[in-house]
Amino acid sequence: MASIFRRRRDGKVSERYYIKYKDEKGCWRVKAGFKSLSATKQLAAEIERKIERRKAGLEDEYTDQLRRPLSEHLSDFAAHLKGKGVSPVYLKKTINWLKASFDIMGVRFYNNINLDCIDKLLLVLEERRLANKTKNHYLGGLKEFLRWGVITGRWLKNPLEKMKLLNPEINRKRARRSLTVDELKRLLSVSPPERRILYMTAAYAGLRLNELRTLKWSDLDLNNNPPTVTVKAENSKSKRVDTIPLNRELAESLRHWQKKNRESRFVFRVPGRYLKYFRRDLAAAEIARVDEEGRVVDFHSLRHTYATLLSLAGVPPRQAQALLRHADITTTMKTYTHIEVLDLVRGVNALPSLSEAMETEDRVKAAAGCESKKNLGYQIGYHESCSNALLGALSCTKGEEKSDYKTVRKTRKIRHFRADECALMNKGEKNETMGSGGLEPPTNGL
């Protein structure tokens, strides 16, 4: 049985009534009622009726939420994102993507969302010739919205939970490239001082445009060893505080710039139409905004340049990820690091030389060949002398000179003599006289 009461705080009684009750799981709940006691009693009776229906299995806890249109849930979701502290730009884009998705799919309630609606959404986006990266903004917004509904108890499951996002590398409409070292030097040489130090900081510290715009002198510690820069959470994309070291050359340039701008709290004065001035400086440096492959150069390309220079300098990927402040190392290696063919050539040419080992192997093989030929000649001569000794011994045998000679010739074709036999025969050849006490080779084994 639900109980109705008024709250007391600091000796004051609240104007509104409250309802205390046990839900279908046996947990105590408190719900705000109305200023009218009768209206609050009616609400309490309705709550008790729903609890009884849920216990009987006729209704679940999501029934009330499922009856609300998606537009009301979307308003609550926008308040949730705003409470998280997301940027106004992200908030506006996400809500617009969700509204457009609901209109394309033709859904008004959660129960209308299914995979067929998602296929319809993707088909319409494909007809509009949107890139996969843009399609992922729509799908990602839907997945985040539906996941939030599950967490807040508005519906039981997320129908897009197992759906993967599209490959952004396919059908890419706008690819960004990094600047080469020569292009970066030309850009800095033609830019005025206030933009030169801005470009150098973006390319040698990897700071984003908003981080540069809001950077203060108090965020820099140029006299420390090493010098550092601290990016505050409210100005960072990841909404966390990060402190990263600065390049010595960049720190020295910032010290000189500080002497000229002591009166300003902010390090840089980024103009509102910064893109116009950046394109003007690119043209003065003779850097094409779009190359032959369709890749563009914009201000964010300086951050890509920072990642590429770190990779070419041999910085380990994990350290590069920390310097770029990425949550995922895949973003660092695939999106921000641009390796050209010439860089790959320098990489393979940096492998250790194996020519000395190959030359040593050739010399060993050549020496082994000469040795084998020498040994072969020695063996041939040795076996020849053994055969001559045996022939000489056989020729001393009475009555069998002719037949024995033929037998020996035949034996030379089918048999090799042992080393001890050859040595014994050579000894008999040197003695020249084969008497009855000398060598008398057996003839039955021949």
Residue 307 pLDDT greater than 80, yes or no? yes
In whole angstroms, what is the distance from residue 215 CA to residue 192 CA? Answer: 20
Residue 269 pLDDT greater than 60, yes or no? yes
pLDDT-derived band at 202 (thresholds 50, 70, 90) equals very high
pLDDT at residue 420 in the model: 59
In whole angstroms, what is the distance from residue 268 CA to residue 194 CA? Answer: 7
Task: Express each pLDDT in 95-146 by its tens digit.
Answer: 999 999 999 999 999 999 988 999 999 999 999 989 898 999 999 999 999 9
Question: How many angstroms separate the Cα of 228 from the Cα of each of 221, 236, 245, 327?
Answer: 5, 16, 4, 20
Domain 70-151, CATH class in plain words: mainly alpha
- 436-440 average pLDDT score: 45
Q: Are strands 295-296 and 242-245 parallel, antiparallel or unpaired?
A: unpaired
Q: Is 8 helix (H, G, I), strand (E, B) or coil?
A: strand
Identical topology for domains 70-151 and 175-346: no
More confident residue, 224 or 441: 224
In whole angstroms, what is the distance from residue 272 CA to residue 321 CA? Answer: 30
pLDDT at residue 179 in the model: 92
More confident residue, 389 or 347: 347
- 146-169 average pLDDT score: 89
- For the chain, the domains span 3-61, 70-151, 175-346, 375-446
pLDDT at residue 361 in the model: 60
pLDDT at residue 405 in the model: 44
Give the residue from 344, 431, 446, 323 showing the smallest Cα distance to 394.
446
Share in percent of the chain as helix, strand, coil (round to 5): 55, 10, 35
- 85-102 average pLDDT score: 91
More confident residue, 425 or 11: 11
- 200-224 average pLDDT score: 92
Quick one: 435 exposed, middle or buried, by C-beta within 10 A (0-12, 13-18, 19+)? exposed
More confident residue, 360 or 331: 331
pLDDT-derived band at 367 (thresholds 50, 70, 90) equals low
Mean pLDDT of the residues in the chain = 80
More confident residue, 440 or 35: 35
pLDDT at residue 397 in the model: 44
Between 98-107, 178-187, 358-367, 425-434, the lowest mean confidence (pLDDT) is in 425-434
Residue 402 pLDDT greater than 80, yes or no? no
Task: Express each pLDDT in 1-50 by its tens digit.
Answer: 789 999 988 888 999 999 998 887 788 989 899 999 999 999 999 888 88
Give me the CATH code for the 175-346 domain, please: 1.10.443.10
In whole angstroms, what is the distance from residue 118 CA to residue 106 CA? Answer: 11
Task: Express each pLDDT in 226-244 by its tens digit.
Answer: 899 999 988 888 888 999 9
pLDDT at residue 404 in the model: 45
AA letter at 416: H
pLDDT-derived band at 364 (thresholds 50, 70, 90) equals low
- 189-201 average pLDDT score: 93
